[in-house]
Amino acid sequence: MIFNTGAALLDAVVLSVVSREKEGTYGYKITQDVQQVISVSESTLYPVLRRLLKDECLKSYDREFQGRNRRYYQITASGLAQLNMYKQEWYEYTLRINKLFDGGYHDE
């Protein structure tokens, strides 16, 4: 069973994962964290992160780690606003769907 939700939900999940780290987090860890919640192909995350950077929902910076550069992703103010909007949408959407599934037939 598959629902077509477009990219919005994956954006929301990624933004949520990144927002949990105040100092920012890096590509591999984001993928691992997202995969703990939902199964998502490793190659799917790159285009999502790239677009979120372009839309300025995320910002990135490089920091040295064990003699090499590690790219960190950090949520921006507009990213946070976007995430809150997604959350709100999700709550309302799932609430209505759940209501229909669980009690919709008995109401009225």
Partner 1 sequence: MNRKEFIEKLSFLLQDISDEERHEALDFYENYFDEAGIENEQKVILELKSPERVAAIIKDGLKGQFEERIYAGNQGFSNDDYEMNYEITEPKNQEKKENKIFDRWKQMDSQDRLILVIIGIVLCIPITFSIFGIVGGVFGIGFSFVIAILCVIFGLWIVTFIFHLLAVILMIVGGITLFIHPGAGLIYLGAGCILIGLGTIFGKLATWFFKDCIPHVVDTVSNALHKIFHSRSV
Residue with tokens 């992160």: 49
36 interacts with partner 1 by CB under 8 A: no
Kindly identify the residues of this chain, within the stretch 65-104, that bind partner 1 according to CB under 8 A.
68-71
Dist CA 23 CA 73 (whole Å): 9
Q: Tell me whether residue 64 or residue 107 sits nearer to partner 1 (CB atom).
A: 64
Kindly identify the residues of this chain, within the stretch 48-67, that bind partner 1 according to CB under 8 A.
48-51
Stretch that binds partner 1, among 15-23, 37-45, 81-89, 97-105 (CB under 8 A): 37-45
Q: Tell me whether residue 19 or residue 29 sits nearer to partner 1 (CB atom).
A: 29
Interior CA angle at 90 toward 49 and 36, to 5°? Answer: 50
Q: Is the distance from CB of 61 to CB of 72 less than 8 angstroms?
A: yes
